[in-house]
Amino acid sequence: MSKAIYPGSFDPVTFGHLDIITRSAAIFDELIVGVLNNSEKNALFSVDERVSMLKELTKENPNVTVDSFDGLLVDYMKKSGATIIVRGLRAVTDFEYELQIAQTNHVEYPKAETVFLTTNLKYSYLSSSIVREFAAYGGDITKFVPPQFVDRIYEKSNIKKQ
């Protein structure tokens, strides 16, 4: 049984994240989407809100669960039994950090293997921080995030949309 974890902040979840979730759920027997509880001061959504948004989006995928975790990813992996870390790679700018963190995780927990999925071309420019920035100025975010979350993202950004 292959058990993978896709960790991230997901603040907010985007179509890019969803694409990685769908593709990795088709590769691994079980996938945990792990929301990092990093007590980021200027986060848009609380960790519980992000978990519930992700649960809503993945409820039709029987092999996907959503959870949050504190502290080191490898400690959460030891607890949950996941041995594969899924990460998405967009541009080369992602690579240096991802390589370093993957190697560190492997040193800390030799059973941990990181697997990279290359971004879907359609979403290669997309990140949660771009969504937050666009929403803060009232930009159109409908191409970036699932429709049911658009209004909540504007509300959190203190933007009034008609």
Residues that bind ligand ADP (CB under 6 A): 8-10, 14, 16-17, 20, 87-88, 90, 94, 119, 123, 126-129
Please tell me the distance from the alpha carbon of residue 100 to that of residue 49, in angstroms, as a whole number. 30
Residues sharing a CB contact under 8 Å with residue 121, sequence separation 6 or more, in sequence order: none
Residues shown for the chain: 162
Active-site residue, 41 included:
yes
Closest separation in Å from C-beta 21 to ligand ADP: 9
Number of neighbours of residue 12 by Cβ within 10 angstroms: 26
Options 17, 87, 132, 156, the catalytic residue: 17
Nearest approach in angstroms of CB 19 to ligand ADP is 6
Output the CA–CA distances (angstroms, integers) from residue 114 to 104, 111, 162, in the order listed. 11, 10, 44
In terms of CB distance, is 58 or 128 closer to ligand ADP? Answer: 128
17 flagged as catalytic? yes
Selecting among 24, 50, 87, 128, the annotated active-site residue is 128
Mark whether 128 is an active-site residue: yes
Q: Which of 39, 41, 79, 160 is catalytic?
A: 41
Q: 36: helix, coil or strand?
A: strand
